[in-house]
Structure 1
Amino acid sequence: MAGRVVTIAQQKGGAGKTTLAIHLAVAWALAGKRVATVDIDPQGSFSEWHRARTAALGEGRTGLTHAAVSGWRTQKEVEQLARTHDVVVVDSPPHAETEAKIAVRVASLVVVPVQPSPMDLWATRPTLDLAKSEKRPVLLVMNRVPSRGKLVDAVATKAAELGVPVAEATVGNRIGFAGAVLDGLSLQETDPRSRGAEEMAELAAEIARRF
């Protein structure tokens, strides 16, 4: 059976899309899954991280199969990787470009990170509309969440009113994520007992259950 394709999509920049993609990919790899990662964002941050990871761990020791593609090759590359891997994690561009539409089209699940603010929540609508037009299932993930407060709860309630599922697992606004990524690693690897590592493991397990 072909592997599952998880597309991380959010047309608003600054939502923590690439950091989430990196940590989910590593979480599944650490769980023993064959994981491929695909960077179709012109900024290339996912690919830069994988280069840093290769430098830190050694060629062929990253635990991931990584590809950077664009244009018409995107769908074919993702489908080929899905044939030989359990999970393919796609980091898509932050705008409604051709690649973003293709990434959503080939997804088994579209994961949409959203920060707990009204502006970020409103900005998810184009992404949700794109997934709806491609008839792809969506999961909203509350990302970069500060300490619990009334605003966080209010935004989570409003997110649920959009008519799409909201993940029970949330991801906090933790500096450890950025520090790990800078070294080509994930927080699960640099500080596996941290709350942030636990949050990513919980989210990865929740997404896997939806498969």
Structure 2
Amino acid sequence: MPAKIVTIAQQKGGAGKTTMAAQLAVSYARAGKRVGLIDIDPQGSLATWYEVRKALVAPDGAGISFVQASGWRLTNELDRMKRDTDLILVDSPPHAETDVRIAVRAADLIMVPMQPSPMDLWATQPTLDMAKKEKSTALVVFNRTPPKGKLVDAVRRKIVEADMPVAATVLGNRVAFAASMMEGKGVAESNPRHTATKEIKALADEIAGKLGF
């Protein structure tokens, strides 16, 4: 069966796309899935994480394969990875370019990380509009979420009013995510019992349920 493709997209920078891609990849790999990562962000943060992973964790990526691709190579790499993996996660840049549209069009699911702030809320709708135009299913994920407060509640109300598709899983604003990235790991590897690990596993399970794998 060809791999499922999940593209992580958000026009606003700093929403946590790269962290989400790496953390989900590790969670799925530990569950026995063959995972492919594709970095189409010119900044290359996911590529750097993977290089650290090969140096400090395992030369073969420990169940995760990786490639950087852009332009015409992106479609070719997606087709190639489909044959050798169960799931492909695509990390995209924070602006709507041709590569992002290709990744959105090819995806079975678009994950849209959003911090509970007005700026993220305003930036999210164009990504959802792109997904709709490309006939792709999208899901907003609260990321780097602080403890409950008036702002979080206000943003939630706005999302409900806008009828945005929102994941049941919420990722907290946890240092453990970043700390594991520094080691080329996911939090599921560096701190299996941490709350952050439970959160990313819950998100992975929710995505798997929607994709049927």
Q: Specify if TM > 0.5.
A: yes
Report the counterpart of residue 113 of structure 2 in structure 1.
Answer: 113
Report the residue type matching 1:140 in the other structure.
V
Kindly report which structure 2 residues correspond to 1:80-159, keeping only aligned pairs within 5 A, or say none.
Answer: 80-159=80-159
Aligned-pair CA distance for 1:119: 1.5
CA gap of 1:154–1:137, structure 2 versus 1, over 3 A, is same
Does the CA-based 8 Å contact 2:57-2:185 persist in structure 1? Answer: no
Report the residue type matching 2:177 in the other structure.
F
Report the counterpart of residue 56 of structure 2 in structure 1.
Answer: 56
Report the counterpart of residue 13 of structure 1 in structure 2.
Answer: 13
Aligned-pair CA distance for 1:153: 2.4
Aligned-pair CA distance for 1:20: 0.6
| Residues 85-126 of structure 1: CA deviation (Å, up to 9, x unaligned) | 110000011111111111101100000000001121111121
Mapped to 1, the partners of 2:25 and 2:162 lie a distance apart of: 27
Structure 1 unmatched ranges of 5 or more: none
Identity %: 52
Does the CA-based 8 Å contact 2:104-2:136 persist in structure 1? Answer: yes
Aligned-pair CA distance for 1:176: 1.1
Mapped to 2, the partners of 1:83 and 1:204 lie a distance apart of: 21
1:78 equivalenced with 2:78 (yes/no): yes
Report the residue type matching 1:167 in the other structure.
A
Mapped to 2, the partners of 1:84 and 1:158 lie a distance apart of: 41
Give me the CA root mean square deviation: 1.1
Kindly report which structure 2 residues correspond to 1:30-69, keeping only aligned pairs within 5 A, or say none.
Answer: 30-69=30-69
Report the counterpart of residue 174 of structure 2 in structure 1.
Answer: 174
Does the CA-based 8 Å contact 2:50-2:61 persist in structure 1? Answer: no
Mapped to 2, the partners of 1:15 and 1:152 lie a distance apart of: 15
Mapped to 1, the partners of 2:121 and 2:35 lie a distance apart of: 30
Secondary structure, in 3 states, of the residue corresponding to 1:94?
Answer: coil
Does the CA-based 8 Å contact 2:115-2:145 persist in structure 1? Answer: yes
Secondary structure, in 3 states, of the residue corresponding to 1:90?
Answer: strand
Aligned-pair CA distance for 1:74: 0.5
Secondary structure, in 3 states, of the residue corresponding to 1:53?
Answer: helix
Secondary structure, in 3 states, of the residue corresponding to 2:162?
Answer: coil
| Residues 169-190 of structure 1: CA deviation (Å, up to 9, x unaligned) | 0000011111110111111111
Aligned-pair CA distance for 1:62: 2.4
Secondary structure, in 3 states, of the residue corresponding to 2:67?
Answer: strand
Report the residue type matching 2:210 in the other structure.
R
Aligned-pair CA distance for 1:64: 0.4
Aligned-pair CA distance for 1:61: 4.4
| Residues 48-106 of structure 1: CA deviation (Å, up to 9, x unaligned) | 00000000123124210101111111112112212221100000111111111111011
